[in-house]
Amino acid sequence: MTPDFRLDRTLSASELEDVLRQVGSERYHIRHPFHRLMVEGRLTRGQMQAWALNRYCYQAAIPRKDAIILSRIEDRSLRLVWRERILDHDGDGASPGGIERWMRLATGVGLDAAIVASQRLALPATRFSVGAYLTFVEKRTLLEAIASSLTEMFSPQVIGERVAAILQRYPYIDEDTLGYFTPRLTQAPRDVDVALAHVREHARSMETQQLVVDALIAKCEILWTMLDALHFSYVEPGHVPPGAFVPEAAS
């Protein structure tokens, strides 16, 4: 296999999983400079607000993404387990889902809920990236769409690092504000088990395995691009696009 993850032979299921985990170790956004600044406690309140506001666009799109995938699944047993992802983020009408919990984070760092929900102050690159992800799961093969969700293999690591660091280094943020992350520590591994089992079963040729690897790379690049935009706009050089969120000077 080459450094850009081009396969030169058909892999066993366990070898394919190893490659996918290697993709995450090299390409997941836990390595991004913006994330590193966050966990080191070096972001201002305004920069944390920009992160929460822009990330909301992605969080709000997750159940739409999963609804697209669900509509493409012919296997009833897989549909039954996949629909749990939609409930996780949309809620069930009685208990809040991930979108509501992320809004609690956004308002907890001082943002107005209506402004966050409107998404109108999000960076253009954020909206473009989220749209690209929705298009990806709609237009690519079902195998690729499911494989793109496997960034969840790496989310417990980033959550563990992020939550501990934020609570330690940002005194205006408490555990209730970060309530989004606790359920994800159990939901994400459950979702990974389902998606990974599907990938291991259906990616058996070099060609389909390459599609799976490339799909995970594409998802990592989408998440990386979103942090690139935040870093460019709010850290260095600090060029905020017209019409996007501008933190207060005191932040």
Give residues with Cβ within 8 angstroms of 139, minimum separation 6: none
Tokens 């201002």, located at residue: 44
Burial class (CB in 10 A: 0-12, 13-18, 19+), 154: buried
pLDDT digits 0-9 by tens, 208-246: 999 999 999 999 999 999 999 999 999 999 999 999 999
Mean pLDDT of residues grouped by 10 in the chain (251 residues)? 85 98 96 97 98 98 98 97 97 92 98 98 98 98 98 94 96 96 95 97 98 98 98 98 89 49
pLDDT digits 0-9 by tens, 60-92: 999 999 999 999 999 999 999 999 999 999 998
Contact 238, 46 (CB under 8 A): no
> pLDDT value at position 95?
86
Write the DSSP assignment of 39-70 as a string of letters: HTT---HHHHHHHHHHHHHHHHHHHHHHHHHH
> pLDDT value at position 2?
62
Cα–Cα distance, 116 to 49 (Å, whole number): 10
The values of phi and psi at residue 70, to 5°, are -55, -40
Dihedral over alpha carbons 59, 63, 89, 214 (to 10 degrees): -60
Give residues with Cβ within 8 angstroms of 250, minimum separation 6: none
Cα–Cα distance, 8 to 191 (Å, whole number): 29
Contact 108, 177 (CB under 8 A): yes
Contact 169, 41 (CB under 8 A): yes
> pLDDT value at position 94?
84
